[in-house]
Chains A and B, each alone.
Chain A
Amino acid sequence: MVDQPQPPPASAAAVGRGPWRVALRRLRRNRGTLVFIVVFVLIVLFVLAAPLWADHLADTGPNATHTLEKVEVDGEIREVVDPAGRPIGPLWFGAGGKFFLGADGRLGRDEMVRLMYGGRTSLFIALTSALITTLLAVVLGLLAGYYRGWTDTLISRALDVIWAFPVLLLAIALGIALAVGGLQIGPLTISSGSIWIPILIIGGVLIPYTARPVRGQVLSLREKDFVEAAVAQGAGPLRVMFGELLPNLASTIIVFFTINVANNMLLESALSFLGVGVQPPNASWGAMIATGNDLITSAPLLTILPGTMILLTVLSLNVIGDGLRDALDPKAKIRLEAHAGLAEPEGTPV
Chain B
Amino acid sequence: MGRFVVRRLLGAIAVLFTISVIVFLIFNVIPNSDPARRLAGRNPTPTLVAGIEEEWGFDDSLPRQYLTTMDKIFSGDLISYTTREEVDERIVEGIPATFSLCIGAAVIWLFFGILFGYLSAVQAGGRLDRILTVVAVMGISIPVFWLAAVLLNYLSYQTGIFPSGGYVKLTEEPFEWASHLVLPWISLAAIQIGFYSRVMRSSMLDVMNEDYVRTARAKGLSERRVMTRHVLRNSLIPMVTLLGLDVGVLLGGAILVEALFGLNGVGQYAFESLESLDLPPIMAVTLFGAFFVVLCNALADVAYAYLDPRVRLGDSAR
Contact = CB atoms under 8 A, between A and B. Distances in A.
A304 B289 CA distance: 32
B107 interface: no
A169 B22 contact: no
B259 A177 contact: no
Contacts, number: 162
Interface stretch (B165-173, B213-221, B238-246): B238-246
A336 B11 CA distance: 27
Interface residues of A, number: 52
Interface stretch (A11-19, A178-186, A215-223, A241-249): A178-186
A172 B290 CA distance: 15
A319 interface: yes
A211 to B, nearest CB: 15
Interface in B244-286: 245-246, 248-249, 251-253, 255-256, 259, 270-271, 274-275, 277, 282, 285-286
Secondary structure dominating the interface of B: helix
A257 B23 CA distance: 29
A315 B141 contact: yes
User: Chain A interface mostly helix, strand, loop or mixed?
Assistant: helix
Interface in B132-161: 137-138, 140-146, 149-150, 152-154, 157-158
Contacts of B140: 314, 318, 339
A274 B143 contact: no
Interface string B12-52: 00111011001100110011110000000000000000000
Given A167-B249, A176-B275, A178-B30, A339 B195 contact: yes
A310 B251 CA distance: 22
B281 to A, nearest CB: 12
A167 B150 contact: no
- Which has the most chain A C-beta neighbours within 10 Å: B144, B149, B253, B271? B149
A166 B289 contact: yes
A307 B138 CA distance: 13
Contact of A180 (B33, B198, B285): B33
B146 A161 contact: no
Interface in A242-287: 262, 266, 269-270, 273-276, 286
B15 A164 contact: yes
Given A169-B252, A169-B255, A164 B141 contact: no
Interface string A25-67: 0000000000000000000000000000000000000000000
Interface string A291-323: 001001100100110010011001100110010
Given A286-B143, A315-B141, A297 B157 contact: yes
A195 to B, nearest CB: 18
A160 B27 CA distance: 21
A314 B14 CA distance: 36
Nearest to B242: A340
Interface of A: 157, 160-161, 163-169, 172-174, 176-178, 180-184, 262, 266, 269-270, 273-276, 286, 289, 293, 296-297, 300, 303-304, 307, 310-311, 314-315, 318-319, 322, 333, 336, 339-342, 350
18 contacts: A161-B15, A164-B16, A164-B19, A165-B286, A168-B252, A169-B252, A172-B271, A173-B286, A176-B274, A176-B277, A276-B274, A304-B150, A307-B146, A319-B137, A322-B137, A333-B202, A336-B202, A340-B245
The 10 closest A-B pairs by CB, nearest first: A168-B252, A181-B32, A307-B146, A314-B141, A315-B141, A181-B31, A166-B251, A166-B252, A166-B248, A296-B153
Interface of B: 11, 14-16, 18-19, 22-23, 26-27, 30-33, 137-138, 140-146, 149-150, 152-154, 157-158, 195, 198-199, 202, 238, 241-242, 245-246, 248-249, 251-253, 255-256, 259, 270-271, 274-275, 277, 282, 285-286, 289-290, 293-294, 297, 311, 314
Given A164-B15, A176-B275, 12 more contacts: A157-B15, A164-B290, A164-B293, A168-B255, A177-B26, A180-B33, A262-B141, A275-B275, A296-B157, A297-B157, A307-B143, A310-B146
